[in-house]
Chains A and B, each alone.
Chain A
Amino acid sequence: MPKFEKMAYASSDEMIFGTAKNPVKYGRDFTVGGGYVFPELVPHPRPGTEATKKTLVKEYEKMVTDVLDRCVAIGIPGIQIELEHVYQMTRNPDWGGEIAAETKRLQEEYYRKFGLKSAIRATIADYRKPDEEDIRNSVALENMLKTFETSAAGGADNLSIESVGGKEISDYTIVRQDIRGTLFGIGVLGSRDMEFMWKKVVEIANKYGATPGGDTNCAQANVAMFMAGGYQDRSVPHTFAALTRAIAAARTLVAYEQGAKGPTKDCGYEDVIIKAITGNPISMEGKTCACAHSDLLGNLVAACCDLWSNEAVEYHDMFGGTTVAVFTEILGYDVALMNTAIEMGHAKILKELMVQSDKYRDTHGFILCPENAYEIGKAIVSNNTSYYARARAAAIKAGELMLGDSNLQMSAFEKESLQSAMRTLESLPDKEEDFISECADIYKKLIPGFTLANYGL
């Protein structure tokens, strides 16, 4: 059941990069949201190195060393490294654990020698298959939980995941521009699966003294956003993707209701809304994640960040060093600029510049600029009678905002898609149980393997 009833901030003006209401302290003298922004670097191993534990651990050792060396070379005060598990690291719990331990060993060495502050996030791969197995009782789940444990025991400070509940529905509905099913897959099923999953993650984190970090709607809202793509893509309407993002905020919130503390997961673009509601520190990615994917809000998305990330970069040589070192440097200077603005009392101006760069570039940036994100947050907390009600309210609010600002231009096709989705959203039942039974009937017929029992229904 939903828990948040009010906003952590009195207005979006109060929200700013580097500071959160509830800072998180962990790792080696590392505080997130305590006044300054830090980089979060995500290295990705080269293909082939996943073949054995030995080669993969070695790969991480090299990558992490390059990152820490570059921090020291150019004076970066502190850094978080995310171990975003490739499948093999979760499939084999001891691999994930050993890589966390090796990363910690290196971070401790640089802390001792140079005082470089640091922390580790481990993001376990959710490889459950909702349309093929009992996701509440499967080998995949068992391995994932074991890997959370080995990671925490190995030295991960922050435990995170990109959970996939409801994906079997949204995979079907996003490419069909079906907003009802998307609301069902993300807002209802996704939320319910997160409640199940996060109780377990929080328990494990507490057992090992690690911090339960966060979740992201990568499996759904990012699918819609990446498919919407750039200005010339015609896979999913951008307005539809923006509605999906608003729904995702209501879903991702569940992690924090179950006890996650943040910093949130970098690819959760919905996290500005999460910060507005929870006051927890957030990790964001924008222009610096162009190495992993393109987006239309590269500056704007940094406006309220507490960690600034690159999403993932594959380990290779570049003229300026290895990719992980190069991206450490790029993130480091971005963050230095933000922290300079903070020190000189210009943070609000820099925030405004970031926002104005992208607010009207595309619908996604528009709904995620702090003032609109705040409004969507308010719609969520004031409709907290059910997961469904608040997710639907978030989408309707996002739609109203898009239609209500004449500076936000849209093609006729985009506008029609939005209006059609709004008509559907408004016609849906008010009660969650009615919505669930309506959707259960429809999607059981359409989606082979879809079972309500996976969601405790």
Chain B
Amino acid sequence: MATVANYANIFVRYDLISSGEAKGAKVSSKDAALQKVLQCVLEGDSDNIEAAVNEALASKDPMTVINEGLIKGMNEVSRLWDEGVYYLPQAIVASDAMLKGLEICEKKLGKSLEKKGTVITHTAEGDIHDLGQKIVNALLRANGFEVVDLGKDVPVDEVVAAVKKYNPVMLTGTALMTTTMTAFERISNRLTKDGYATPFVCGGGAVSLEYVTGYNLGIYGKDASQAPGMASDAVNGLSWSQLREKWNS
């Protein structure tokens, strides 16, 4: 059988453009113990973070380890991800390591670090496609938010009740099926009727900008990586319509 001499007119490997050397992290710490913590976060090394944090805590106070090690490392991970050096898994395992380290520091502090705010997440009633939601959870937690994870296939009533119970800064919904996303509109109607103005960020394969901006409270979330930025905006007092204006136009 004849072979193809030249594939250039069949397909172009755009993925190989400027893919050469993986560019490394730019942050470091002069302190050897903090450097180890930083390194564990950058490499997503959950196996060794405990030892590294404990070592750093021997000579530093917990807030220093948090700010100069854990959070500094995580900020660098976010940058590397934004610039396309890291892939999603690198960001997630880094966040796992960071959270594990944080827990140890908080124990030493004797209290939990104040969270930036509470966000409720869920996957629509009838829908078990919850991977997008799980990514949203991980990224929100990595960015210092308290996440109330209602799980998948969550009845409308339960979502409404949770909003009333926790009064979150933001509510999120994920739906991958056009036949389940209709629950979002029902949630919006119920919340609006009861006087809640909680920003409701809806994402997932099936939903579209057009659909989500068709009901009150709705803000369209295209990519999970937007969730922390949106939640920060909500904490800073942006209303659902201002959030929609900022993220959806």
Contact present for A236 and B87 (CB under 8 Å): yes
The answer on a CB contact under 8 Å between A412 and B22 is yes
- A356 CB contact (under 8 Å) in B4, B22, B126, B127: B4
**A177 contacts B by Cβ under 8 Å:** yes
Chain B positions within 8 Å of A314 at CB level: 178
Of B19, B21, B138, B177, the residue contacting A87 (CB under 8 A) is: B177
A114 is an interface residue with CB less than 8 A from chain B: no
**A87 vs B127: C-alpha distance when bound (angstroms):** 8
Contact residues in B for A237 (Cβ distance below 8 Å): 87, 89
Minimum distance in angstroms from B187 CB to a CB of chain A: 16
Asked if B19 and A129 sit within 8 Å, CB to CB, the answer is no
Per DSSP, chain B at the interface is loop
How many chain A residues touch B (CB < 8 A): the figure is 41
In the complex the two chains form, is A176's CB within 8 Å of B180's CB?
A: no
With a cutoff of 8 Å between Cβ atoms, the chain A residues found around residue B88 in the complex are 175, 227, 234-236
Interface string of B164-184 (1 = CB under 8 A from A): 000000000000011111100
A172–B93 CA distance with the chains assembled, in angstroms: 11
**Chain A residues, Cβ within 8 Å of B22:** 412-413, 416
**B20 at interface, CB cutoff 8 A:** yes
Most chain B CB within a 10 A radius of its CB, from A44, A172, A237, A413: A413
Q: B11–A361 contact, CB under 8 A?
A: yes
Contacts of A361 in B (CB 8 A): 11, 13
Known: A352-B1, A360-B7. A234 touches B87 (CB 8 A): yes
- CB–CB B178/A129 < 8 A: no
Could you tell me the distance between the alpha carbons of A236 and B135 in the complex, rounded to whole angstroms? 12
Residue of B nearest to A449 (CB): B151
User: Is the C-beta of A86 less than 8 angstroms from some C-beta in chain B?
Assistant: yes
A52 beta carbon closer than 8 Å to chain B: no
Query: Is B152 in contact with chain A by the CB < 8 A criterion?
Result: yes
Closest to A89 in B: B179
B182 adjacent to A127 (CB under 8 Å): no
**With an 8 A cutoff between CB atoms, is B16 at the interface?**
yes
User: Is the Cβ of B15 less than 8 Å from the Cβ of A87?
Assistant: no
Known: A87-B179, A129-B153. A175 touches B19 (CB 8 A): no
Complex formed: what's the CA distance from A371 to B88 in Å?
32
Given A412-B22, A413-B87 in contact, is the A132-B93 Cβ separation under 8 Å?
A: no
Report how many residues on chain B are interfacial, defined by Cβ distance under 8 Å. Answer: 41
Question: In whole angstroms, how far apart are the Cα atoms of A129 and B126 in the complex?
Answer: 11
Q: List the B side residues contacting A223 at CB < 8 Å.
A: 131
The reply to whether A412 and B84 form a contact with Cβ atoms under 8 Å apart is: no
B10 close to A (CB within 8 Å): yes
Establish whether residues B16 and A175, one from each chain, have CB atoms under 8 Å apart when the complex forms. Answer: no
Interface set, chain A 116-139, CB cutoff 8 A to B: 127, 129, 132
| A296 closest partner in B (C-beta) | B11
Residue in B1, B14, B89 whose beta carbon sits within 8 Å of that of A231 in the complex? B14
Cross-chain contact of A175 among B127, B128, B134, B153 (Cβ < 8 A): B134
Cβ contacts under 8 Å, B3 to chain A:
356
- Taking the closest CB of chain A, its distance from the CB of B124, in whole angstroms, is 10
Interchain CA distance A164-B153 in the complex, whole Å: 15
Interface string of B129-141 (1 = CB under 8 A from A): 0110011001000
- A79-99 contacts to B, CB under 8 A, are 86-88, 91
CB distance from B208 to the nearest CB of A (A): 11
**A-B contact sample (17 more), CB < 8 A, given A231-B14, A411-B19:** A45-B179, A47-B179, A48-B182, A87-B179, A127-B126, A127-B153, A132-B151, A177-B87, A177-B89, A231-B13, A234-B81, A234-B87, A236-B87, A348-B1, A358-B11, A360-B7, A409-B13
The 6 nearest A-B residue pairs measured at CB: A411-B19, A231-B15, A177-B89, A47-B178, A50-B179, A235-B88
Can you list 15 pairs linking A and B with CB atoms under 8 Å apart?
A: A44-B178, A87-B126, A87-B127, A87-B179, A175-B89, A176-B93, A177-B87, A234-B86, A236-B89, A237-B89, A352-B1, A356-B4, A412-B20, A413-B19, A413-B87
